[in-house]
Amino acid sequence: MGNEIRSVAFIGTGVMGAAMAGHLMDAGFELRVHNRTRSKAEPLVERGAVWCDSPGDAAEGADAVITMVGYPSDVEAAYLGDGGIIARASEGALLVDMTTSSPALAERVARAAGARGLASLDAPVSGGDVGARNATLTIMVGGDDDAFERATPLFSAMGKTVTLHGGPGAGQHCKMANQIAIAASMLGLAECLEYARQSGLDPEKVIATLSGGSAQSWTLQNYGPRVLAGDFAPGFYVKHFVKDLRIALASAEAMRADLPGTALAKRLYETLAANGGSELGTQAICLLYEDAAAREAQGVSVSATAAEAASC
């Protein structure tokens, strides 16, 4: 197998993965797909992708393998399990995990892949469902220069800002930094809107005003209007964000970095997830600050005050 990538195995066709895989097909790559729930891959199969019964089946014969799954345990099973991707990938294949996962696991996968002569990259993304649909994702990459160069046509089909940050695990470390920043901005949005409401201001005017000044942010501009419209549909699930914040804090602890603000955000998101919000989008943290009727309409049964009291 040469360095040119023609066929791609794509594992994980959920909210973001399906759109990302579709862009690869649009770019002319032959696609082999697997997803835990086959129905979510059917639109791609109808377009000509080949369905495969397992990650290992999908990897066999593909020039590159991309995974976009839910949890580190899914990554570990897909790559390191019996009959998994590393065991069955073709000689010279490029492995790219785009799941938000553990930096330490990314290093393990890279070592196992290297032992078989396979190149691997950890390449988590930011931009949510909108970025996935519009092929404007930010892609944070860890691995070696040659593997990164080979993957460039794949990344160009799915994203807009692509950066190699270092060796194995560096992409995941950058994504953890990203999630830490998002946690702070989401909490800031929630408390900004709560303050505006309690002071009698029009929240829509507040968002418009702040978006023209130093408080302007992607979260404010993109999620502020969605929150005011009662749109808590997931671009990124609360349950997955809880997973990410746990990874971030575990990694920080291993480096002896103290992140009390992130720890607070994690506790609030954990309580939200445990009280009806796990399947909502990350902007649903704002529900913790809304009245009981608004919370109950979304199936959330706890307020911010109760959430923080429960976490102490």
d(CA 279, CA 44): 24
Q: Where are the alpha helices (DSSP H) in 116-217?
A: 128-134, 145-158, 170-198, 203-210
How many alpha carbons lie under 13 Å from residue 83 in its C-beta half-sphere?
5
Burial of residue 267 (number of CB atoms within 10 Å: 0-12, 13-18, 19+): middle
d(CA 190, CA 92): 48
The three-state secondary structure class of 69 is: coil
**Helix axis angle, 103-115 to 72-80, nearest 10°:** 0
> 175 an active-site residue?
yes
Residue 185 amino acid letter = S
Q: Which of 99, 94, 92, 88 is nearest to 11 (CA)?
A: 99
**Which member of 40, 160, 175, 205 is catalytic?**
175
Catalytic residue numbers read 175
